[in-house]
Structure 1
């Protein structure tokens, strides 16, 4: 599965046992993404039911629910599949030569399918009919918001990987998502699987087709920008050697 990652050293966002059957690892990715999408869509529908509490309360509730669900899922399933639940993490690992193409494609398919099923499950448990969202098409500010939110998320994910802080990575990801959902006008979807599934979601998290297309391009742009940043901050040679660059004293 991995070309550069040592599963004994990486315990977050890489499988502990890359020899485990691909179907099993991909299935875990699918189930995890389903549960993540259930939290994303369900929190929006729950906030909609409690609309008299004010939109700010709904946004904060959605941020906490989404981030908390993701932290729990990464901790629970990270050793089996890596705990991605996001095609951008999988795709950037493939781009870095850390994941084979067959594994990448299996993960992407499972993540997108899982998110779609999660959106459907949220609609079932809340009894909300599928409805076309009425949100306006995004302008450049929303596009930039989604690109920046995604870049921040990928920087946190891969920064934790490269600095070998696997034990805190789930909590770092959750902390960033909580902040980004509240602090960005696009509400930081930052996940193509969740964004695509928002086409079939009702409630505040639903997105029209034009917004989905714009967000997907923004997310890809942000992910690539974060990848360049991480490559600059953590040169590949130092990562392969298992150590970070040592600061030099200008007086020596």
Structure 2
């Protein structure tokens, strides 16, 4: 498997130097996911304390905080690890042949560990115990919602990546995520690391196990659907041109 670096093809979500030690790149993915989940959980707890009865305000606070944090983290860490913080992105890059299996496993492991740690740290910051009182009732619309949320996010991510939108890509991802959070019944988790971490999160973003077990496969289905759409929209040429001659293996 090979990987195009950001400097080679001008795309986002790829490391600037794929020859950097894998341990360092995976560490950055873990830290980034930790900070992302910390903000997601903490913003929910903050909004809940400020406006316990107003679900719309809580949703808006979580949406704005999540999208802003994600944009900032991608810009800060993207040159080191690609700024994924989402196993779906990493796995689809491997499926596309852009990332080696050992790198994929290391990234995903770090993302899950980082996400769980982020939820636990947020709980401690707010002195909140795990008390999930989710109002969600499991029904087909939530499953469809999470499929569509993951599909849309991956289309934006890989559309920006293959379109070479290095600087504007993170803002496009943040904009899509904010709109999806406030417009989907499942509030667009669209990230397996965040979903699993929600098991350990107190407050509005916390999820019970039965919801998590349904959302996870829904997100995978959505990611695969997005991969099919992107493959049609941005077909890869079988004949390499001069702009892709320099290929490095992470």
Q: Distance in 2 between matches of 1:14 and 1:103?
A: 12
Gap change, CA 1:233 and 1:204, over 3 Å in 2 = same
Q: Which residue of 2 aligns with 1:189?
A: 189
Two-structure CA RMSD over aligned residues (Å): 1.7
**Could you list the runs of 5+ residues in structure 2 that have no partner in the other structure?**
244-250
Q: Which residue of 2 aligns with 1:154?
A: 154
Q: Distance in 1 between matches of 2:27 and 2:91?
A: 17
Residues 219-241 of structure 1: per-residue CA shift (max 9 Å, x gap): 00100000000000011118954
Look up the SS of the partner of 2:237 in the other structure: helix
Q: Distance in 1 between matches of 2:15 and 2:139?
A: 39
Q: Which residue of 2 aligns with 1:87?
A: 87
Q: Which residue of 1 aligns with 2:218?
A: 218
Moved segments of 4+, more than 6 Å: none
* TM-aligned CA deviation for residue 4 of structure 1: 4.6
Q: Distance in 2 between matches of 1:182 and 1:207?
A: 17
* TM-aligned CA deviation for residue 195 of structure 1: 0.2
Q: Which residue of 1 aligns with 2:230?
A: 230
CA contact (8 A) 1:162 1:239 kept: no
Q: Which residue of 2 aligns with 1:249?
A: none
Q: Which residue of 2 aligns with 1:5?
A: 4
Q: Which residue of 2 aligns with 1:78?
A: 78
Q: Distance in 1 between matches of 2:5 and 2:134?
A: 47
Q: How many residue pairs end up in the alignment?
A: 242
Q: Distance in 1 between matches of 2:172 and 2:239?
A: 20
CA contact (8 A) 1:10 1:16 kept: no
CA contact (8 A) 2:44 2:205 kept: yes
Q: Which has the higher contact order (CA 8 A, sep 6+)?
A: 2
1:35 aligns with 2:35: yes
* TM-aligned CA deviation for residue 68 of structure 1: 0.1
Residues 186-222 of structure 1: per-residue CA shift (max 9 Å, x gap): 0000000000000011111010101001110110010
- Give the TM-score taking structure 2 as reference length: 0.92
1:114 aligns with 2:96: no
CA contact (8 A) 2:48 2:203 kept: yes
